Structure 1
Amino acid sequence: MKHLLIFLITCSIMLGANAQQTQKPPLHGKHWMAITGKPLAAEAGAMIFNKGGNAVDAACAMLAATCTMWDVLSWGGETQALIYNPTTKKVIAINALGVAPTGATTAFFKSKGMQFPPEYGPLSAITPGTPGGICYMLAEYGTLSLKEVLAPAMQLAEGYAIEAQTANAIERGKKMIKQWPYSKSVFLPHEGAEREAPEAGEIFVQKDLLATLQKMVDAEQEALRKNKSRKEAIYAAYDRFYKGDIAKEFVRGAQEQGGLITMDDLAKWKPVEEEPLHVNYKGIEVYKLQQWTQGPSMLQALNILENFDLKSMGYNSARYMNTLYQSMSLAFADRDFYYGDPYFPPEEPMKGLLSKAYAKQRAALVNDQMSRPDIGPGDPYPFEGKTNPYLGILKERGFNIAPPERATPGATPKHDATFNNIFNGTFAANTVDPAYTDRMWRGTTSVEAADKEGWVVSITPSGGWLPACIAGNTGIGMSQRLQSFVLDSTLDPFNVIAPGKRPRVTLTPSLALKDGKPFMAFAVQGGDTQDQNLLQCFLNVVEFGMTIQEAVEAANINSDQLWLSLGGEQVADRQPRAGSMLVNSNTPDYVQRALRKMGYKLYFDDRTSGPINAIYFDWKHGSFWGGSSNHGEDYGIGW
């Protein structure tokens, strides 16, 4: 009887029923909400709120803590954030993504036999962005000092009881870690023993990182003693990191191990405040970062899906999954070809890509009877009054971008041909390709914060994940984000590597406003699956009436019909898998049969929802609802 009850509860959640039973309870708060990827990091946010800080202060403290805990990122990684400012009632975009260093050229990497930059090591590093991002957000929109905000992270660096997830990740990656002397000294305290990484519960100490953070705080406090303003003092800490002795040691350590980053690279880099991109979906304004992220792909998918009656299809019916899969695949095909750093030419056709008229044309390509392995990039240029200069490349790659009424479906483009020749029924029968799924789902963390004054922050930081190469005696793991560039301009002419340029990243926080007020703040880890899961979380709330905790736990699908952004140095490692769909293990047999009849190749997992963290704003009752992923260690605290 007990097992039957569990089964019925699971099914009710799967089918979108308004059951309140979830694997984790929803969070409720009146004054503030702090959610992130680790319990101790969420506690760091709570500590800052209890000191009187606002949501920006708390978000910066959580970000610093997650970096210190190596929550699939570190201090040498990158930060991208959306902030709602209640004073201006505007959404602000923060671009704290590092850039390719001096010498990082297509010729350099091709000379090493690579078709993409490497996954790991010093040559995969872009300049650090997170320290600058924290300083910028705190100086411009926070209220506390850097010393106060970094205090929890510094206590963690002094030593904390490491959790099993990170400790075991270190042990699994120790062979690679041993290649880098500074990483080895930090991560392998039991070198020579059977287990060389820390054990779960062991006090993990990071003396070099603590010294680096102390230097930043010392620079701030010295500036305050000289009667500098709070903002000026925080930027003094920023300068010490990017131009002072911290920078010198970082560069020395990086170059000693074969890295390319120079002092000039660090000194020239700076975070940028931008206008976010947004679309209106049925009266809700959804905001994402610009096209240096994959964020606009979710906006494109929403525009396409607005042409369908999703609610009538039913949550995770075969018809819904098919429509969702093809809509996401259409958006990702455009992402893979047209997105890149907006500060470098050529100019991305974002006006056309985000136009409702273009979305309507793309929606007409969705086939409700069968899968579409032939989906490729469209032609957004006419929707901004221009001629597409890349038609020749698209034709050469085998794409048919004629309008739907003249398109001929069914042919697989050349870019998919190799994969489809080797894809067989074995994979479709239930097995998972571990190397592929690791690259597809490669994680990071997320940070969500809100306060009663109206500040809202959504961050998806990343970079410098384990196994990380630490730069000298700084304690800082270098980013591995260089791998998100392409070396072949025919794959994406907007995202070709060049010194000083930002790679197009998967990292994609989200904010939504309704009636001019915050509606949802949500973000997720997981590589190329991020905007797929965030899209479905949003639709779960808006179309299917789920609570925010139900929405973050609900079963999703993932499309593999895209170019991977991470992992593998050869084209074959990243090619799209047309028609390959991840579905939840509890998907009913009749839905599976219908999807296979449409031509989809299915594989399964028991959790397919994220992990997503989110805040829903309950204006009726004047409170927050928090949703924290049920995948692993994601955790939230509300008050």
Structure 2
Amino acid sequence: MKLLSSVSLLASAALLASFAVAAYDRVTGHDFASRSEVIAQHAMAATSHPLATQIALDTMKKGGNAIDAAIAANAALGLMEPTGNGIGGDLYAIVWDAKTGKLHGLNASGRSPLSLSYDMLAHELEQLGRTDLPPYGMLPISVPGAVDGWFELHEKFGKLQMTSILQPAIDYAEQGFPVTELIAYYWNRSVPLLSPQPGDFKGTFTIDGKAPVKGQIFKNPALANTYKTLAKEGRKAFYNGEIAVKIDRFMRENGGYLRFADFANHRSTWVEPVGVDYKGYTLWELPPNGQGVAALQMLQILKNFDLQAMGFNTPESIHTLVEAKKLAFEDRAKFYADQDFHKTPLQGLISEEYGRERAKLIGERAAKRVDAGNPHLYEGDTIYMTTADKDGNMVSLIQSNYRGMGSGVVVPGLGFVFQDRGQLFSMDKNHANVYQPGKRPFNTIIPAFITKDGKPLVSYGVMGGAMQPQGHVQILVNMVDYGMNLQEAGDAARWQHLGSTEPTDGQQTYLTNGGYIEVERGVPYSTVRGLMQKGHEVRYGLGGYGGYQAIMKDHENGTYIGASESRKDGQAAGY
């Protein structure tokens, strides 16, 4: 099946020559690929933990659909990868519903405490000697939206009972699971930072006061009990019942601001995904308060350039991609916010006309200062996982605590840590993303979906804060412009640009020094040198390039193709 654009023999040779990594002993495909794609007829799952992938497949084998499988796997990941997600965090999803042939978007992110006014927060920050929200403790905590997200997805699309869906995660929480390599690394880094925070972080997430090491069996009986309560009583236990009561009591006793009313008032929002065409492929993202629109803005700029002719990871192609990122991210910093409080000029931002005008700002040299544009003129981070079932349903789901293990605050007996997503509010009163009670902060986590000719093609995501929209674009460009398959597109050496203005900055803050590019070692030094000659500051970075999972629908052969991130502990598998 010819899914993606071909590359000429000359371009293919240049492409292969541009890689300086990996095996060199593959007899098929590119020699930098970590493995072949996974192919299966009936169902596919790709998650950041092999045991969670198996749970997703088992769920579908016993009669569940892709939505049931996604919830089951996410529950397992909250246990097995607490360094990236959990029910103290938020959730976003894009679902392809095979029955209606339509994409559905879910924003299950939480809001700031109603009892914490701007002036109260400003006073708290002054006492801490800060002008921005801290990464840990009580102040950056917002209402966790993940549990409501599960039940919204289940009510709209689910088949199995929640008792059945959550049982595998409950069993692993009670009986234990072996901790994997990369998760153990991040867990060890988190324990010293988070153990001093209020509550029972140390008792919940350590073994004899230390982070579990690779291969060690870890149990979380408190989380098992919480999952049992959710399985039996549903979302009301978390937002209107005993769990909300425990959280309210703990927050009052320890200087926190979340109250029972914050949980009782919480609701997820079903939203329409927004998409733009890129050379016959439509990339779909969710509207703000997330940052997915930045990927769409980048594509509208990039379609004005011939990236294929430039070649993969050449100075010219990376320069063009980075400059497009700079332009999109200045708009991201200025305009992206909770739509209930600030109407983002969405259609203007993702219009072809605006992309064409912004593309004219890209020159041969690296831009040092970049300002946000005027899209009004054109108006008309975490884990990522994906599942697909025998009926054609596909789920693109992302879920996170924000900074790894979040705020460090753990209510004794509940087994999960609260997110610190509120750190992404701005304290500039004139900013669209300014802190207000009951408001959703700017959010970095974004699922993605690609369609072609109105049919579902790829469900995918790339982790890592501001890396995510950059990663979404790199994966799509790798497939469409450079002819890579699903696994190769994720294995190929990545870059990321850092230093852009952030949505937490003041309204009059601008990128003034050009920021800098980090590249993986697979980017050849000739490219690094060429970028430096164009005025870019370039560094080699270790880690931080995301966690990719993907599923592609092969309509011609009636199969699913799966890919998993070679930089993480995950697995793609099917049956």
1:623 alignment partner AA: T
1:170–1:110 CA distance, 2 compared to 1 (3 A)? same
Q: 2:45 aligns with which of 34, 40, 48?
A: 34
Moved more, 55-64 or 605-614: 605-614
In structure 2, the CA distance between the partners of 1:622 and 1:11, relative to structure 1 (3 Å rule), is farther
The DSSP-based 3-state class of the residue aligned with 1:460 is strand
Q: Which residue identity is paired with 2:275?
A: H
Distance between the aligned counterparts of 1:181 and 1:339, measured in 2? 33
In structure 2, the residue matched to 1:24 is 35
In structure 2, do the counterparts of structure 1 residues 188 and 588 end up closer, same or farther at CA, with 3 Å as the change threshold?
closer
Q: Per-residue displacement from partner, 1:141-197 (whole Å, max 9, x unpaired)?
A: 011110111011111211222334444444433333143342121123313xxxx23
Asked whether the equivalents of residues 14 and 554 of structure 1 are also in contact (C-alpha less than 8 Å), the reply is: no
CA shift, 1:484, in A, is: 1.0
Alignment partners' CA distance in 2, 1:478 and 1:609: 25
Contact 2:275–2:284 (CA<8 Å) still a contact in 1? yes
Q: Structure 2 vs 1, CA of residues 48 and 73 (structure 1 numbering), >3 Å: closer, same or farther?
A: same
Letter in 2 for 1:55: A
**Pairing partner for 1:97 from 109, 115, 124:** 109
1:252 to 249, 255, 269: 249
Q: Equivalent residue for 2:357?
A: 361
Structure 2 counterpart SS, 1:587: coil
CA distance in 1, matches of 2:496, 2:514: 12
Q: Once the 2 structures are TM-superposed, how far is the Cα of residue 378 of structure 1 from its aligned partner?
A: 0.3
State whether structure 2 residue 179 is matched by structure 1 residue 162. yes
Matches within 5 A, 1:271-420: 271-344=268-341, 346-367=342-363, 369-384=364-379
- Structure 2 residue aligned with 1:55: 66
* Aligned counterpart for 1:146 among listed residues 162, 181, 185: 162
CA contact 2:83–2:186 (8 Å) conserved in 1: no
Matches within 5 A, 1:523-538: 523-538=461-476
Secondary structure, aligned partner of 1:325 = helix
Q: Counterparts of 1:312 and 1:9 in 2: how far apart (Å)?
A: 14
Helix, strand or coil at the partner of 1:301 = helix
Cα deviation, residue 51, structure 1: 0.8
User: Are the structure 2 counterparts of residues 449 and 505 from structure 1 closer, same or farther at C-alpha, using a change threshold of 3 Å?
Assistant: same
Q: Deviations over 1:261-303 (max 9, x none)?
A: 0100000001111111111222222110111100000001111
Mapped to 1, the partners of 2:542 and 2:229 lie a distance apart of: 45
- Does residue 634 (structure 1) correspond to residue 574 (structure 2)? The answer is no
Q: Identify the residue that residue 396 of structure 1 maps to in structure 2.
A: none
Q: Is the 8 A contact 2:96 2:104 kept in 1?
A: yes
Taking a change above 3 Å as real, the CA distance of residues 574 and 626 of structure 1, as seen in their structure-2 partners, is farther
Offset, 1:319: 0.7
Alignment of 1:504-519 (within 5 A): 504-519=442-457
Change (3 A) 1:187 1:584: closer
Write the distance in 1 (CA, Å) between the matches of 2:447 and 2:268.
16
Rate the CA distance shift 1:14–1:313 in 2: closer, same or farther, 3 A. Answer: farther
Q: CA deviation at 1:18?
A: 4.6
Match of 2:100 among 88, 94, 102: 88
Quickly say closer, same or farther: Cα 1:620–1:499, change in 2 above 3 A. Answer: same
Contact 1:561 1:576 survives alignment (8 Å): no
2:59/2:72 contact within 8 Å kept: yes
Q: How many residues align?
A: 548
1:162 and 1:343 map into 2 onto residues whose CA distance is 40
> 1: CA distance between counterparts of 2:416 and 2:511?
32
Residue type at the aligned position of 2:200: Y
Question: Taking structure 1 as reference, are residues 14 and 85 closer, same or farther at Cα in structure 2, changes over 3 Å only?
Answer: farther
**Is this contact kept in 1: 2:330–2:510, CA < 8 A?**
no
Q: 1:92 to 1:358 in 2, by over 3 A?
A: same
Output aligned runs, 1:106-255, within 5 Å: 106-111=118-123, 112-113=125-126, 114-158=130-174, 159-175=176-192, 176-191=194-209, 196-219=210-233, 237-255=234-252
Residue 382 (structure 1) shift: 1.5
In the superposition, relative to structure 1, how do residues 53 and 9 fare at CA in structure 2: closer, same or farther (>3 Å)?
Answer: farther
Encode CA deviations 1:330-389: one digit per residue, 9 max, x unaligned: 111101101101111x3211121111111110010011x20011111001111128xxxx
User: Which is richer in helix?
Assistant: 1
Letter in structure 1 aligned against 2:425: F
Matching residue of 1:429: none
Match of 1:390 in 2: none
Q: Secondary structure at the match of 1:157?
A: helix
Does 2:405 align with 1:466? yes
Shift, 1:21, TM fit: 5.9
Question: Looking at CA atoms only, which structure, 1 or 2, has the larger radius of gyration?
Answer: 1
Q: TM-score scaled to structure 2, two decimals?
A: 0.90
Deviations 1:424-468 (A, max 9, x none): xxxxxxxxxxxxxxxxxxx51101111231101001110164263
Cα distance in 2 between the residues matched to 1:104 and 1:244: 22
Alpha carbons of 1:144 and 1:471: their partners in 2 closer, same or farther (altered >3 Å)?
Answer: same
The whole-number CA distance in structure 2 between the counterparts of 1:181 and 1:576 is 42
Q: Flag the 1:513–1:570 CA change in 2: closer, same or farther, 3 A.
A: closer
Deviations 1:3-23 (A, max 9, x none): xxxx989548899x9526621
Deviations 1:41-95, CA, capped at 9 Å, x for gaps:
1111111011111111111111111111214112110000000111111110001
C-alpha distance in structure 2 between counterparts of 1:9 and 1:306, whole Å: 23
1:73 matches 2:85:
yes
1:613 paired residue number? 549
Give the partner amino acid of 1:362: R
C-alpha separation between the residues in 1 aligned to 2:362 and 2:23? 25
2:358 and 2:502 map into 1 onto residues whose CA distance is 22
Deviations 1:595-636 (A, max 9, x none): 111110110136675321111222222211111000020212
Question: 2:5 is matched with which residue?
Answer: none
Structure 1, gaps ≥5 residues long = 1-6, 220-236, 386-442
- Give 1:521's aligned residue: 459
Q: CA-to-partner distance for each residue in 1:199-256, whole Å, 9 max, x for gaps?
A: 433332222211111112222xxxxxxxxxxxxxxxxx11121101111012222333
Moved more, 460-469 or 597-606: 460-469
Name 1:234's counterpart in structure 2. none
Q: Paired residue for 1:479, among 412, 416, 419?
A: 419
Identity of aligned residues (%): 30
Aligned Cα root-mean-square deviation (Å): 2.6
CA–CA distance in structure 1, aligned partners of residues 18 and 517 of structure 2: 25
SS in 2 for 1:122: coil
Could you tell me how far apart the structure 2 residues matched to 1:99 and 1:267 are?
A: 12
Match of 1:589 among 516, 525, 539: 525
Matches of 2:562 and 2:213, distance apart in 1: 32
Aligned amino acid, residue 486 of structure 2: I
Give secondary structure in 2 for the equivalent of 1:513: strand
Asked if the contact 1:36/1:42 (under 8 Å) is kept, the reply is yes
